Structure 1
Amino acid sequence: MPATPRDPHGWDPFPSSRSEVEGAREASSPDAASPISAGQLAFDDPDFLTRAETRGLRLQLEWMKPELHLIEAGIRSTIVLFGGARIPEPGTEAWAARNESQKRNLEAASKYYDEARRFAQIASRHSANSSGGKEFVIATGGGPGVMEAGNRGAKDVGAVSIAFNISVPHEQEPNRYVTPELSFGFHYFAIRKMHFLQRAKAIAIFPGGFGTLDELFEALALIQTKKMQRIPVILFHREFWQRVLDIEALAELGTIAPGDLDLLTYAETAEDGWEAIRAFYDIA
Structure 2
Amino acid sequence: MSSRFDNFEEKREEKIRKAFKERDWNEIKSADSWAIFKVIAEFVEGFEKLSKIGPCVSVFGSARTPSDNPHYIMAEEISAKLVRHGYGVITGGGPGIMEAANKGASSENGKSVGLCIKLPFEAKGNIYIDPDKMIMFDYFFVRKVMFTKYSQGFVVLPGGFGTLDELFEAFTLIQTIKIGRFPIVLVGKAFWEGLIDWIKNTLLEKYNYISREDLNLFYLVDDATEAVKVIDDFYSKYLLTPNY
Question: Which bracket does the TM-score occupy, shorter chain normalised?
Answer: 0.7 to 0.9
- 8 A Cα contact 2:91 2:115, kept in partner: yes
CA drift of 1:68 comes to 0.9
Q: Say if 2:102 is the partner of 1:151.
A: yes
Which residue of the partner structure matches residue 134 of structure 2?
183
Give the gaps of 5 or more residues in structure 1. 1-49, 91-109, 128-135
Which of 152, 156, 174 does residue 201 from structure 1 map onto?
Answer: 152
Which of 171, 177, 181 does residue 220 from structure 1 map onto?
Answer: 171
Per-residue Cα deviation, 1:35-86 (whole angstroms, up to 9, x for no partner)? xxxxxxxxxxxxxxx9333211211110111211223xx2123100000000
Letter paired with 1:251 = L
Which residue of the partner structure matches residue 97 of structure 1?
none
Partner Cα separation in structure 2 for residue 78 and residue 157 of structure 1: 14
Q: Secondary structure at the match of 1:51?
A: helix
Which of 243, 252, 260 does residue 214 from structure 2 map onto?
Answer: 260
- 8 A Cα contact 2:56 2:152, kept in partner: yes
Work out which structure has the larger RCO, using CA pairs closer than 8 Å and 6 or more positions apart in sequence: 2
Q: Say if 2:89 is the partner of 1:138.
A: yes
Which residue of the partner structure matches residue 56 of structure 1?
36
Partner Cα separation in structure 1 for residue 165 and residue 77 of structure 2: 24
Q: Give the length in aligned residue pairs.
A: 205
Q: Say if 2:79 is the partner of 1:116.
A: no
Q: Say if 2:226 is the partner of 1:275.
A: no
Partner Cα separation in structure 2 for residue 202 and residue 179 of structure 1: 20
Q: Secondary structure at the match of 2:63?
A: coil
Q: Say if 2:40 is the partner of 1:81.
A: no
CA drift of 1:229 comes to 0.8
Partner Cα separation in structure 2 for residue 65 and residue 278 of structure 1: 30
Letter paired with 2:184 = V
Q: Say if 2:122 is the partner of 1:164.
A: no
Q: TM-score, normalised by structure 1?
A: 0.70
Which residue of the partner structure matches residue 65 of structure 1?
45
Partner Cα separation in structure 2 for residue 200 and residue 116 of structure 1: 17
Greater CA radius of gyration, 1 or 2?
1
**Cα RMSD between the aligned structures?**
1.4
Partner Cα separation in structure 1 for residue 195 and residue 152 of structure 2: 25
Map 1:225-240 → 2, pairs under 5 A: 225-240=176-191
Query: Identity percentage over the alignment?
Result: 35
Q: TM-score, normalised by structure 2?
A: 0.81
Per-residue Cα deviation, 1:207-259 (whole angstroms, up to 9, x for no partner)? 00000000000000000000011100010012211224521121112100011
